[in-house]
Amino acid sequence: MNNSLKILNTFNLKVNVYKIFLIKDLKKLCQLWEKYKKKYYPCLILGEGSNVLFLNDFYGLVIINRIKGIYIRESKKYWNLHVNSGENWHKLVKFTIKKKIYGLENLALIPGCVGSAPIQNIGAYGSSIKDFCQYVDIIDPVSKKIKRLNNKDCQFKYRNSVFKHKNYKKYIIISIGLFLPKKWIPNLKYHCLKHLKNHNITPQKIFNYICNIRKKKIPHPKIYGNAGSFFKNPYISLQKGFKLLQIFPNMPYVLKNNYMKLSAGWLINQCNFSKFLYKGVTVYSKQSLIIVNKFNNSSGMDILNFAIKIYNTVGNKFDIWLEPEVRIIDNYGEINPLIYFKNNNN
């Protein structure tokens, strides 16, 4: 257990694993998976470790996916991209803009690899991958059978998809298909982008603007270990939302499909967590939705306990129980984080 994952997880946690392999082809991935599963070792696929929290050492095999390749076809109205799962997402966005293929610019600087994008249905600034995803190719690494799911099959929702369901845990995402209209229409519906409408806007300008925003709001993991937003923004009923507005008239919200979407960062801010430091763990000063390993020497359990403190404090104050966005990994694999949160409810 002396194989370190420290540089392979963005929380900068000092955790070890039994074996680490970096793979560049699908055949090797399946061979390793089958070999270690037969020995009853847990197996885990990682892209860049940007959305995971390891609670302690992992007693199994970690496969670092670097299966790359971007393939472009075009029709009269669309660009069609087939992208392998080991590609870096932000580099893909830069690549498309360089090729004058537009549409992904609002999703600039989201960390991680392409393979993790549909799992979370990554999104930012009024856009999400479900808007462009035509299909996702998955493989059962034991049977070697490949299956293609179209957009509807993926059951995309806010930070959710079918790939989080139990029935799909045995599959690995190997590639995705994206379709991007040749007729580009800027997506400026997000509040902080609306002022760009009258500035001869281009995809490159939107890309640059969003990169600047994200760099200001999100700390670089090499400075403060973090996994971006730790919690999802909650959706609550209109009835509950309007009751809260009577108590907190300055509460920001967005109305969506007969629900009220709140800012988890704002809820956390109201509980004064910016002044709270627990074993080197705190919230980022510029964005309370981000939990940081401030001195890069905290443990996974320290971070989890701090997150549970936020969960309970926000829940008791607002009767809103935040849902973690980050994947939680224990000794043997991914676990349901709500088990920890609800069991430590006080």
Query: Which of residues 129 and 198 earns the better pLDDT score?
Result: 129
pTM: 0.94
Is a pLDDT exceeding 90 seen at residue 294?
yes
Residue 269 CA, chain-centre distance (Å), reads 22
pLDDT for 247: 96
Asked if 105 is an active-site residue, the reply is: no
User: What is the pLDDT confidence band of residue 265, given thresholds at 50, 70 and 90?
Assistant: very high
Residues 244, 178, single domain; the answer is no
Residues 209, 74, single domain; the answer is yes
Of 50, 105, 159, 327, which residue is the catalytic one?
159
Is a pLDDT exceeding 90 seen at residue 337?
no
Number of domains comprising the chain: 3
User: What is the pLDDT confidence band of residue 341, given thresholds at 50, 70 and 90?
Assistant: confident
Stretch among 160-174, 222-236, 332-346 having the lowest mean pLDDT: 332-346
pLDDT for 58: 97
pLDDT for 196: 86
Question: What pLDDT digit, counting tens, does each position of 212-247 carry?
Answer: 999 999 999 999 999 999 999 999 999 999 999 999
- Of 45, 65, 85, the residue that ends a domain is 65
Burial class from Cβ neighbours inside 10 Å (0-12, 13-18, 19+) for residue 309 reads middle
The range of the structural domain enclosing residue 95 comes to 70-217
Residues 155, 250, single domain; the answer is no
Is 229 within a domain? no
3-state SS track over the chain: CCEECHHHCCCCCCCEEEEEEEECCHHHHHHHHHHHHHCCCCEEEECCCCCEEECCCEEEEEEEECCCCEEEEECCCEEEEEEECCCEHHHHHHHHHHCCCCCCHHHCCCCCEHHHHHHHCCEECCEEHHHCEEEEEEECCCCCCEEEEECCCCCCECCECHHHCHHHCCCEEEEEEEEEECCCCCCCCCHHHHHHCCCCCCHHHHHHHHHHHHHHHCCCCCCCECCCECECCCEEEHHHHHHHHHHCCCCCEEEECCEEEECHHHHHHCCCHHHCCECCEEEECCEEEEEEECCCCCCHHHHHHHHHHHHHHHHHHHCCCCCECCEEEECCEEECHHHHHHHCCC
User: For 316-327, b where at least 16 C-beta lie within 10 A, e where not — what string?
Assistant: eebebebbbbbb
Cα separation, 193 vs 126, in Å, equals 9
pLDDT for 70: 98
Which CATH number goes with the domain that contains 201? Answer: 3.30.465.10
Is 147 within a domain? yes
Longest CA pairwise span in the chain (Å): 62
Q: Which long-range contacts (CB under 8 A, 24 or more apart) does 147-152 make?
A: 147/171
Average pLDDT over residues 111-136: 97
Is 95 within a domain? yes
User: What is the pLDDT confidence band of residue 298, given thresholds at 50, 70 and 90?
Assistant: very high
Residues 58, 99, single domain; the answer is no
Tell me what the pLDDT averaged over the chain comes to: 95
Residues 61, 74, single domain; the answer is no
Is 228 within a domain? no
Residues 135, 213, single domain; the answer is yes
Of 116, 161, 229, 288, which residue is the catalytic one?
229
pLDDT for 344: 75
Q: What percent of the chain has pLDDT over 90?
A: 91
Question: What pLDDT digit, counting tens, does each position of 36-45 carry?
Answer: 999 999 999 9
Asked if 159 is an active-site residue, the reply is: yes
Which CATH number goes with the domain that contains 42? Answer: 3.30.43.10
Is a pLDDT exceeding 70 seen at residue 171?
yes
Is 226 within a domain? no
Residues 55, 90, single domain; the answer is no
Handedness of CA 194, 197, 201, 203 (dihedral sign): positive
Is a pLDDT exceeding 90 seen at residue 164?
yes
pLDDT for 346: 63
Residues 74, 211, single domain; the answer is yes
Is 188 within a domain? yes
Is 154 within a domain? yes
Residues 292, 271, single domain; the answer is yes
Q: What percent of the chain has pLDDT over 70?
A: 99
Residues 171, 254, single domain; the answer is no
Residues 210, 300, single domain; the answer is no
Is 99 within a domain? yes
Asked if 325 is an active-site residue, the reply is: yes
Question: What pLDDT digit, counting tens, does each position of 181-210 carry?
Answer: 999 999 999 988 988 887 789 999 999 999
Residues 308, 322, single domain; the answer is yes
